[in-house]
Amino acid sequence: MNEDLELIERLKGGERAAFKQLVDKYKKKSYAIAYSILEDKEESKDVLQEAFVKVFYSINSFRQDASFSTWFYRILVNLCKDHLRKRSKQFISIDATFKTEEGSDIKKVEIADLRENPISALVNKEAGAMINKALNKLPTKQRLAFILKHIDGLGIEEISNSLGCSISTCKVHLFRAVRSLRRQLIPYYKEA
């Protein structure tokens, strides 16, 4: 019996330590997936916690026709999509101030990493911004398929299960995402 199935059986039997082991096993990669979709540390942590809570309360509905990781990543991706939908309905002024834990007001600003060479930091930041902008222009399923494949390293079958589509549809999403990104980014790389 594989390790996940053993942990699931123990969890179904009421052993909470098995749940902690599942969380420890999946939290790092799952956080990376959530962050790559949401691009917000706190929101990613919230969604990850929500996903694990959902797993805890619905573990008895887990059918072993797919791997636990596929089932879990589908829950996680769906929760991320829900948060993206909610977020798109919220607006924040660029002049907005935020409360610190101490209660004082601050404006949201980014601080440069002083360990990096300033020119390479600028180039990396600009390249990252261009890639993020291009990714955000993709339709949701293409963007998620691309992120899960090329950033998180999942296989086609896991991605198709996570997105709720066939393997051939998943391949089409990936092909179109790469083609679209190539078209959007090629002008920047011709300059280099």
Summarize pLDDT for 34-84 with one digit per residue, the tens: 888 888 889 999 999 999 999 998 888 888 777 888 889 889 988 988 888
Q: Which CATH number fits domain 3-88: 3.30.530.20, 3.40.50.300, 3.40.50.2300, 1.10.1740.10?
A: 1.10.1740.10
Contact 144, 161 (CB under 8 A): no
Class of domain 112-191: mainly alpha
- Please give the model's pTM, rounded to 2 decimal places: 0.55
Give me 105's structure tokens: 């007001």
Residues 47 and 8: their CA atoms lie apart, in Å, by 21
Q: Are 108 and 44 in contact (CB under 8 A)?
A: no
The distance of Cα 40 from the centroid of its chain, to the nearest Å, equals 10
Q: pLDDT, tens digit, for every residue of 121-179?
A: 556 667 777 877 888 888 888 888 888 888 777 889 888 888 888 999 999 999 999 99
| Domain locations along the chain | 3-88, 112-191
Give the chain's length: 192
